[in-house]
Amino acid sequence: MSKRDDLIVKYVADIKDKFGESPNMDLLTKVTIGLGPSIYNLDASKVSGADEKELETVKNNYLIKKLGLSDSPQLMDAIKSVVEKYGSSNKNKHRAVVYYMLCKHFDKESVYK
């Protein structure tokens, strides 16, 4: 298996364990590929749920720029909801999992078709 495949296996485990869902493998793979080389960088591959600046980056760069959503309080509410479900004490929130869950939350799978 490739390094990316190994990471996707970790992401699948997190989605099952933390969110109680079976992931759409096609979508998860596309979200992961969309993150490019950042998934291999220890810092860039994670989302810090306690860092407001980080959450703003997720909102602006992913939800608004990538998914094409309009800025509104619902965006930050959704991010915080995903972070909370992931577990506030969990320091290893994988960016690909957070983005995948947000994509599903806003029903924006079509962006990755």
pLDDT at 92 over 90: no
Q: What is the CATH number of the domain that holds 74?
A: 1.10.238.120
Task: Evaluate whether 68 touches 107 at the Cβ level (below 8 Å).
Answer: no
Tell me what percent of the residues of the chain surpass a pLDDT of 90: 92
pLDDT tens per residue across span 39-57:
999 999 999 999 999 999 9
Q: Which domain holds residue 66?
A: 3-112
Number of domains the chain is built from: 1
Element (H or E) spanning 13, and its range?
helix 3-19
Instruction: Establish how many alpha carbons lie within 13 A of residue 28's alpha carbon, considering only the half-sphere containing its beta carbon.
Output: 21
Position 90 confidence tier, pLDDT thresholds 50, 70, 90? confident
